[in-house]
Structure 1
Amino acid sequence: MAGLALTLGLAPFGLVVGMAAEAKGLSLLETLLMSGLVYAGTAQLVALELWTDPAPILAATLAALVINLRMAPMGAALAPVLDRLQGLRLWGTLAVLVDNSFALTVAEMRAGRRDAAFLLGASLAMWVCWMATCTIGQVFGASLRLPAGHPVFFASVAALMSILVPLWRGRSDLLPWGVAGVLALAAHGLGLGQPWPVLAGALGGAAAGAVRDMRRR
């Protein structure tokens, strides 16, 4: 239920990915395979921006790899939950990890609950909604195509911002959050396209948080 509630705000993001895939000439099966296996909206959009004929397999793969490197520190932060898992349970849970289920699980951990099933359940609920919205976007791509900057696109940004609320722990979070924001804006201001702003913010914020925690110890 927690995953579904948050995913409602991310539905427009899935529609955009589906419409972008349709505009690039991908079939419904190809769109579903990409959405189901990659399961990362930003990486999918970056790959679609690079898409030409013939498809730049290496370039798209490298772009998706770089932009998803932020998952490494996220997985490490969930160690108190994931360390109880092994084999297929561990790697299967990591395979469906996304930013939103990460945020929900961190909030659960801070409340004293460390149930890996919550992480898996939230991620799978979001996966189902993601597949559904990508399908709708691809099937009705031509009729649903909206101009850039349409207000509906802010829904995904608002949903991502809302997951920050349960993660905020007070003034101690200002340093890593501020570093992440400044680096991302700086990369964007320098004209660097995706994935560099996201990657700079993610790795810079994680490093600042690690330095803060080391000083505390």
Structure 2
Amino acid sequence: MSETVYVDNNREAAGEVTFGFKGALAGARQAWPLAVGGCADGLVFGVLAHQSHQSLLEVFLMSALVYAGSAQLLVLHLWSLPPVFWPIVLTTLLVNLRMVLMGMTLSPWWRRLPPLKAYGTLFFLSDETWALTMGEFARERRDAAFLLGSGLLMFVGWIGSTLLGCWLGGGIADPAAWGLDFAFTAVFLTLLLGMWKGKADILPWLVSAVVAVVAARLIPGNWYILLGALCGSVVGAMRHAD
């Protein structure tokens, strides 16, 4: 991959952005500790996916095409045979709406790239790769391939660990004996702690929790997940708009 320089002095963020092998390699080097940590979540997802009667092929396709750990774990909780289509799609959309904001922060540079490089690289966008890339750009090292390198490493690690977890899950006859019946709750508590930004998060989280609990008691099925996420998101958006 030869380095290419893209310049657009008419843009608000003037300067240049490059796309080359050195940037991709730098991204992979910085991302490997995060990729190792992500593999732990991938193993848990794989085991739980097997317990939800998903095959290795289904786990592979979900991890490769969706590539969103929190959304995939939520989908497992909604999974049924046959799967209920709309709740799964809408829940995944709500959980991943933050990617729109992440993409907007990258747009001053990414819109200078050819479409194949820009959109192909953004497929590997995640919370971790976005944070690493923004830190790199803040230090004036603006190689867009940094996101590609870090994202590819985490992508491969995620797929590999989910498949390994699914394979290992076949040898676990009683998930409760290993504490895996609590794994879903534990993973999401960890995700929540990582998302905590301060007291401003209390109201949206509280609304989401109350709506989910009430809906779980009054509405059959798994609609409480979607309703809780939707109400919490609306309250959060209203607070930011004020």
Deviation at 1:139, TM superposition (A): 0.3
**Runs of 5+ unmatched residues, structure 1:** 165-175, 212-217
Is contact 2:133–2:146 with CA below 8 Å preserved after alignment?
yes
Partner of 2:141: 113
Partner of 2:101: 73
Is contact 1:105–1:118 with CA below 8 Å preserved after alignment?
yes
Deviation at 1:62, TM superposition (A): 1.7
1:92 corresponds, among 107, 110, 120, to 120
Counterpart CA distance in 2 for 1:22 and 1:143 is 10
Partner of 1:167: none
Is contact 2:94–2:229 with CA below 8 Å preserved after alignment?
no
Is contact 1:7–1:126 with CA below 8 Å preserved after alignment?
yes
Structure 2 counterpart of 1:123, which letter? G
Counterpart CA distance in 2 for 1:33 and 1:110 is 35
Partner of 2:162: 134
1:178 corresponds, among 198, 214, 226, to 198
Q: If the length of structure 2 is used for normalisation, what is the TM-score?
A: 0.68
User: Deviation digits for residues 69-102 of structure 1, max 9, x if unmatched?
Assistant: 1100011011233122231211111211111101
Do structure 1's residue 45 and structure 2's residue 65 form an aligned pair?
no
Deviation at 1:35, TM superposition (A): 0.4
The structure with the largest alpha-carbon Rg is 2
Deviation at 1:15, TM superposition (A): 1.0
Structure 1 counterpart of 2:98, which letter? R
Is contact 1:180–1:205 with CA below 8 Å preserved after alignment?
no
Deviation at 1:49, TM superposition (A): 1.0
CA RMSD in angstroms, aligned pairs only: 3.2
Counterpart CA distance in 2 for 1:123 and 1:203 is 31
Identical amino acids, percent of aligned pairs? 36
Q: If the length of structure 1 is used for normalisation, what is the TM-score?
A: 0.75
Counterpart CA distance in 1 for 2:86 and 2:72 is 14
Deviation at 1:184, TM superposition (A): 4.8
